[in-house]
Amino acid sequence: MTGDILGHRARLSPDAIALIHVPTGRQFTYAELNRRALQCARVWTDLCALAPGDRLCILSENRVEYVDAFWAAGKSGVILVPLGTRSTAHELQQILADCGPRCLMYSARYEKLAYELQQLVRFERSIHLDAENDSPNALSYAQAVHRVCPDPLSERLQPEDIFCLLYTSGTTGRPKGVMIPHRQIAFNACTTVLSWQLRPTDRVQVYTPMYHAGGLTVFLTPLFAIGGSIVLHDGFDIAEISHAFRDHECTLLFGVPTTFKMLFDSQEFALLDFRHLRWAASGGAPLPLQLLRAYQERGVTFRQGYGLTEVGVNCFAMSDEDSERKAGSIGRPMMFTEAKLADPAGNSVSANEVGELCLRGPHVCSGYWNNPAATAQVLDADGWFHTGDLARCDEDGFFYIAGRSKDMIISGGVNIYPAEIEKELLDHPAIAEVSVIGIADKKWGEVPVAVVALKSGASANALELVEFLRPKINKIKLPRQVIFIEALPHNAYGKVLKLELQQRLRTLQEDAEGERDTLTPGLKIIVKKC
């Protein structure tokens, strides 16, 4: 089984609409996209002399040519390496040094960054996605595709051949290249269709960056597997997304909690008609229950998903009914997915006890590129992938994320899970965002600190927030400090950058300003804008 899902769907549904490109309004059938992907693959092999296993980097906003390149990787065996457009040349140099690419594709929007990379790394060939003519430094993609024939390639690819390298964000250290084999692409797409019960009539927007696994495989690959339609945006624009959602009558809506909140807070939200929407799904980070309830009040069926780049992005599923009666759950494991929760000794934990989430199945990656030591840390001899996420499972088999194992705070020998405190604080009407992190403490080892961003125009003080928490959680879990900042730092996919928060916190401790009151032993308030 290879990852050429587009080729198989084009054979079955050649005239169905596969892609609607919002910036240009152009629509593409599966047959048209398949021809474009074959042309792209031929540009790589015939004009750039790339062979299966060679790495090609792409630096671009979301666009049709990005889709061409993704599926060309599935046809040619050339390994696609998406580059983050928010990264600096210095950050990307680490990735390039690791993967050793031969070719770079880039758009005009990121031409300056591409030029900086070309000064740091020697690419044998470069392809400019927007240039009208060839130059000494780059092929014109528009010209190149007309110089090749869209004939199928003769290379016979294998399920374990690498389809793409997706580099982790590096929020906890040096970026690692996740090896995504063809087998993973195919199984993730097919099991998502089966477990989420996707339909050929489904239409969904993709506005998350395609250099992330979420932009590529949450819905792009599953919808192409079933023959639905992707509505492609080049980035996140609330007004554009709202208009396209209405104009194209999208049946599914996907985002991360941050984007759902931005949509909810926008002027356009009140005008949206959700009658054609089957359900919405959130992933990438825990979904605040207050936000889930706000959408449910508008009649939206709201599911929460879970996945990692390393395990196929989509790993759990739930029905519409479950999304209401099991609010806050990520659901049950998808078909062909095994899940277990383990304690530090590797033993399975009982129902409703917290353990590390481990996953096994055909949707798990092959490990990390050029990093067998890191691979051995997460993939054990029995094929279990140790996610590093903490979760619990109730008596009905529904899983709930408790947080990251590295984020867990051990205070006086008691395990404190930040997600538990964050969930309760988000029910406070004044709080827009919150992140709980641990800091060193001479007496307790570690104590929790809440970093809070308030809603526009709202007010609250630390004493009020602690008293709000007091009846809800064990007193040892009460934050010993409350820090107010204007906004929490996020990466491109909406995850809070806790490492950056911890660095900011150290600065605050060294030069604390603002109000300080003693609420409980060891509790300090620091009110300061960062």
Tell me the pLDDT tens digit for each residue of 374-415. 999 999 999 999 999 999 999 999 999 887 777 778 787 677
Over the stretch 151-188, which tens digit does the pLDDT of each residue have? 999 888 999 999 999 998 644 457 899 999 999 999 99
Which spans in 266-354 are helix H? Answer: 289-297, 320-325
Q: What CATH number was assigned to the domain covering residues 326-405? A: 2.30.38.10
Neighbours of 46 (CB within 10 A): 16
Return the CATH architecture of domain 408-527: 2-Layer Sandwich (3.30)
Over the stretch 242-281, which tens digit does the pLDDT of each residue have? 999 999 999 999 998 878 988 998 999 989 999 999 999 9
Q: Which residue has the higher pLDDT, 140 or 471?
A: 140
Q: Give the DSSP H or E segment for 358.
A: strand 355-360
Nearest CA among 422, 410, 423, 486 for reference residue 454: 486
Segment 512-517 shows an average pLDDT of 43
Distance CA 291, CA 308 (A): 23
Which of 90-99, 138-147, 515-524 is predicted with the least confidence, judged by mean pLDDT?
515-524
Which of 187-196, 291-300, 411-420, 480-489 is predicted with the least confidence, judged by mean pLDDT?
411-420
Sheet holding 355-360, edge to edge: 338-342, 355-360, 385-393, 399-404
- Is the pLDDT at 523 greater than 70? The verdict is no
Note the pLDDT of residue 489. 87
Note the pLDDT of residue 510. 55
Distance CA 141, CA 133 (A): 9
Question: Which position has the token pair 């457009």?
Answer: 85
Which of 74-83, 334-343, 434-443, 500-509 is predicted with the least confidence, judged by mean pLDDT?
500-509
Note the pLDDT of residue 475. 84
Segment 23-40 shows an average pLDDT of 98
- Is the pLDDT at 204 greater than 80? The verdict is yes
Residues 390-422 as b/e (b if ≥16 CB within 10 A, e otherwise) read: bbbbeeeebbbbbbbbebbbebeeeebbbbbbb
Provide the percentage of residues in the chain whose pLDDT is more than 90. Answer: 71
Note the pLDDT of residue 291. 87
Nearest CA among 316, 7, 313 for reference residue 180: 313
Environment class of 299 (CB within 10 Å of its CB; exposed 0-12, middle 13-18, buried 19+): exposed
Distance CA 419, CA 63 (A): 35
Note the pLDDT of residue 519. 39
Q: What CATH number was assigned to the domain covering residues 5-235? A: 3.40.50.12780
Residues 6+ apart with CB under 8 A from 482: 449, 450, 452, 462, 465, 466, 525, 526
Please state the pTM of the whole predicted model: 0.83
H helix and E strand count, the chain: 17, 26
Which of 163-177, 190-204, 256-270, 496-510 is predicted with the least confidence, judged by mean pLDDT?
496-510
**CATH 2.30.38.10 residue window(s) in the chain:** 326-405
Note the pLDDT of residue 513. 43
**CATH 3.30.300.30 residue window(s) in the chain:** 408-527
Distance CA 399, CA 388 (A): 15
Note the pLDDT of residue 169. 61
Banded pLDDT at 508 (limits 50, 70, 90):
low
Nearest CA among 203, 255, 211, 223 for reference residue 80: 211
**CATH 3.40.50.12780 residue window(s) in the chain:** 5-235
Over the stretch 1-27, which tens digit does the pLDDT of each residue have? 799 999 999 999 999 999 999 999 999
Nearest CA among 87, 80, 36, 90 for reference residue 58: 80
At 10 the three-state DSSP class reads helix
- Is the pLDDT at 449 greater than 60? The verdict is yes
Banded pLDDT at 509 (limits 50, 70, 90):
low
Q: Which residue has the higher pLDDT, 518 or 121?
A: 121
Segment 102-119 shows an average pLDDT of 97
